[in-house]
């Protein structure tokens, strides 16, 4: 198992591909150990490269939009997670609030820490 520190965005992309290849490996196997180490390295790199300041003025909808714009997810994927296209649209346009169940589903599916999705935010009221 040859694992090196992640120092560049290219190293990061390679590590993510390796994680995907190892995903689901049984714990305690060589592949499972490799997966654990790669996940720890990726977490450390991402925390350093893209630090999240929880005091910033962003809210859960900004987090979802970031996941769609920057992390390769789509509004169609969000619709699948939430159960309908209209619900995803209402969430992203701030006409409907995220529920605890929605937060759990998105967090699990997109590997977004739930604490980023439970922050309070304003909902646009119908005129």
- Is residue 73 assigned to a domain? yes
pLDDT score, position 79: 96
The residues near 35 (Cβ < 8 Å, ≥ 6 apart) are 19, 22, 23, 25
**∠ at Cα 100 (54, 114), nearest 5°?**
30
- Is residue 112 assigned to a domain? yes
Dihedral sign of CA atoms 30, 38, 1, 13 in order? positive
- Is residue 4 assigned to a domain? no
Q: What is the pLDDT of residues 56-109, one digit of tens each?
A: 677 899 999 999 988 889 999 999 999 999 999 999 999 999 999 999 999 999
Instruction: Tell me the pLDDT band of 115, cut-offs 50, 70 and 90.
Output: confident
Contact 27, 88 (CB under 8 A): no
Side-chain half-sphere CA neighbours of 53 within 13 A: 3
Q: Are residues 37 and 74 in the same domain?
A: no
pLDDT score, position 1: 58
For the domain that residue 109 is a member of, what is the CATH number?
1.10.260
If one counts every other C-beta atom within 10 angstroms of the C-beta of residue 5, the result is: 9
What's the domain range around 92? 60-116
Total domains in the fold of the chain: 2
Average pLDDT for residues 107-114, to the nearest whole number?
90
Distance of alpha carbon 123 from alpha carbon 34, whole angstroms: 43
Q: What is the pLDDT of residues 21-49, one digit of tens each?
A: 999 999 999 999 999 999 999 999 888 88
């Amino acid at each position: 198992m040859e694992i090196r520190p992640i120092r560049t965005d290219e190293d990061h992309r390679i590590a993510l591909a390796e994680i995907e290849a190892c995903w689901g490996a049984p714990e305690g196997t060589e592949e499972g150990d490799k997966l654990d180490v790669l996940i720890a390295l990726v977490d450390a790199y991402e925390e350093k490269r893209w630090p999240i300041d929880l005091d910033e003025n962003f809210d859960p909808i900004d987090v979802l939009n970031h996941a769609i714009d920057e992390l390769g997810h789509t509004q169609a994927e969000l619709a699948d997670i939430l159960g309908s296209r209209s619900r995803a649209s209402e969430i992203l346009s701030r006409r409907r609030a995220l529920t605890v169940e929605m937060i759990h589903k998105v967090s699990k599916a997109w590997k977004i820490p739930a604490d980023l999705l439970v922050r309070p935010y304003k909902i646009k009221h119908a005129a």
